[in-house]
Amino acid sequence: QVQLVESGGGLVQAGGSLRLSCAASGRTFSSYAMGWFRQAPGKEREFVSAINWSGGNKYYADSLKGRFTISRDNAKNTVYLQMNSLKPEDTAVYYCAAREEGYYRGVYSIDYYYAMNLWGKGTLVTVSS
């Protein structure tokens, strides 16, 4: 089973950038879909982005398109979230998540990636105004 550890969070000024990383243990990382979710204080956890096992399909929350970019390096067992033009409302704990995708060669709709079943402990991103 894959275990997930996030890093890269911190304090940044509005307009700045951060890159989050999620390192996964386990030999089957390459067959997992990966995603990022976030939870702001007092709010429910929300979907941010996901990437399929091959990296060929990427999905984003509509409100974040153009500012956030997800990528993965299967050789390094790592998924990344590049966050640009950060806003105070991006302040949240960011969670890495995964689900087994089994080298599926089709294309799932975005809601498939809402249902992850493996989670990291999160990394805090704070954007100051």
pLDDT at residue 1, rounded to an integer? 73
By the 8 A CB rule, do 8 and 122 touch?
A: no
pLDDT at residue 29, rounded to an integer? 87
b/e map 48-84, b = 16+ CB within 10 Å = bbbbbbeeebebbbeebeeebbbebebeebbbbbebe
Token pair 């956030």: residue:
68
Six token digits for residue 113: 């990636």
- 10-13 and 68-73 beta bridge pairing: unpaired
Six token digits for residue 35: 């995603």
pLDDT at residue 113, rounded to an integer? 94
Six token digits for residue 109: 């709709």
pLDDT at residue 2, rounded to an integer? 79
10-residue mean pLDDT profile of the chain (129 residues): values are 93 98 89 96 97 96 95 96 98 97 90 94 97
Query: What is the Cα–Cα distance from 42 to 7, expressed in whole angstroms?
Result: 23
